[in-house]
């Protein structure tokens, strides 16, 4: 700089950090005719060659292959034709037990009553367009979330995903070590979720009592992979504890900037009949409201 030559080691040190892609950029993997192909360099994989219905239940080894795949890639996108809507809960069951968690704007669907519909024609709240992890205002949020596209818009309506582990890896190590000493408050009402979703005051009060604010680590470790990740999101993280309000916001802005880096994100394009399951402990997500008057109908299962 200023005409002074620097060696490669110093050049690397004085510039912003880049990801070690050896930890992310995998090759396609195939097992028993089922192939996982990376969706992007840091998050997601496409699944082809799989069929789920009453006559086709994967064995234990194939289930392990898929489970290891979601831990490695963060989400698995299943091609249309993998599963029909009436069999979607069979696919969900490969990763755990579906559990209904809905609001008045996301009514119950599904033959076993453990799915809810996210239908743009009736859903007037827009919280799904803010970066978040599902239900992290609870002490034990679901480890996985699954979606099935009953109807996808002709244009738009994609879902963005960000790898919170890769975002952590972009942080300076000394700064990351400081963040690991801090806690934050997660609150379902941080952006007014209950106020907008529950117009009945008694229902709203019951939900508020059921979901008080909780204290969480600002950085947490994935229980299965052992890798660290940013555990702050724009929808539910209210503030960082132990610092001033302005410092709290500055720290959150830095973390949200890391989560917004193109290197850690991908954009999933929906097709009718496509399904997707993600590791809610690894990735954050948000919908994109760019489909105008088009209709977008997704069926959701939270997996415990």
Sorted by where each starts, the structural domains of the chain and their CATH numbers stand as 15-163+266-303 (3.60.130.10), 166-259 (no CATH)
User: What is the mean pLDDT of the segment spanning 28-39?
Assistant: 97
Q: Is 96 exposed, middle or buried (0-12, 13-18, 19+ CB in 10 A)?
A: middle
Per-residue pLDDT at 46: 98
User: What is the mean pLDDT of the segment spanning 59-65?
Assistant: 97
Which of 42-51, 54-63, 254-263 is predicted with the least confidence, judged by mean pLDDT?
54-63
Could you tell me the two tokens for 181?
């000493």
Residue with tokens 């489909």: 291
DSSP secondary structure string for all residues of 172-238? -HHHHHHHTT-EEEE-TTTTTHHHHH--SHHHHHHHHHHS--EEEESEEE-TTT--EEE---TTTEE
- Check whether 108 has a pLDDT greater than 70: no
Per-residue pLDDT at 9: 79
Per-residue pLDDT at 106: 76
Q: Count CA atoms within 13 Å of residue 295 on its CB side.
A: 8
Give the max Cα distance, the chain. Answer: 70
Q: What is the pLDDT of residues 73-97, one digit of tens each?
A: 999 999 999 999 999 999 999 999 9
CA distances from 69 to 145, 182, 297, 304 (A): 15, 31, 26, 18
Q: What is the pLDDT of residues 174-212, one digit of tens each?
A: 999 999 999 999 999 999 999 998 999 999 999 999 999
pTM greater than the 0.95 cutoff: no
Q: What is the pLDDT of residues 228-251, one digit of tens each?
A: 999 999 999 999 999 999 999 999
- Check whether 127 has a pLDDT greater than 80: yes
- Check whether 47 has a pLDDT greater than 60: yes
Per-residue pLDDT at 105: 66
Cα 48 from chain centre: 21
- Check whether 111 has a pLDDT greater than 70: no
């Amino acid at each position: 700089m200023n005409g002074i030559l620097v060696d490669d080691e110093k050049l690397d040190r004085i510039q912003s950090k880049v990801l070690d892609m050896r930890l992310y950029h995998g090759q396609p993997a195939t097992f028993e005719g089922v192939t996982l192909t990376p969706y992007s360099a840091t998050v997601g994989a496409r699944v082809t060659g799989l069929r789920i219905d009453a006559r086709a239940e994967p064995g234990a080894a194939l289930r392990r292959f898929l489970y290891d795949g979601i831990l490695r890639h963060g989400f698995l996108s299943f091609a249309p034709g993998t599963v029909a809507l009436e069999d979607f809960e069979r696919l969900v069951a490969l990763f755990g037990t579906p559990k209904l968690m809905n609001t008045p704007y996301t009514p119950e669907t599904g033959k076993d009553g453990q799915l809810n519909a996210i239908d743009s024609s009736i859903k007037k709240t827009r919280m799904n367009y803010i970066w978040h992890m599902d239900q992290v205002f609870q002490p034990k949020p679901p480890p996985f979330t699954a979606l099935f596209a009953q109807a996808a818009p002709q244009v738009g309506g994609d879902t963005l995903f960000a790898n919170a582990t890769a975002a952590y890896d972009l942080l300076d190590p000394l700064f990351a070590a400081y963040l690991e000493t801090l806690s934050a408050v997660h609150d379902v009402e941080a952006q007014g979720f209950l106020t907008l979703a529950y117009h009945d005051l008694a229902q709203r009060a019951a939900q508020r009592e059921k979901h008080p604010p909780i204290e969480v680590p600002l950085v947490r470790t994935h229980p299965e992979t052992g890798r660290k990740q940013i555990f702050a999101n724009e929808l539910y993280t209210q503030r960082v504890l132990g610092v001033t309000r302005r410092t709290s916001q500055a720290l959150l802005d830095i973390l949200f900037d890391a989560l917004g880096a193109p290197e850690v994100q991908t954009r999933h394009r929906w097709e009718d009949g496509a399904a997707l399951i993600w590791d809610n402990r690894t990735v954050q997500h948000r919908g994109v409201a760019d489909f105008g008057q088009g209709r977008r109908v997704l069926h959701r299962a939270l997996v415990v």
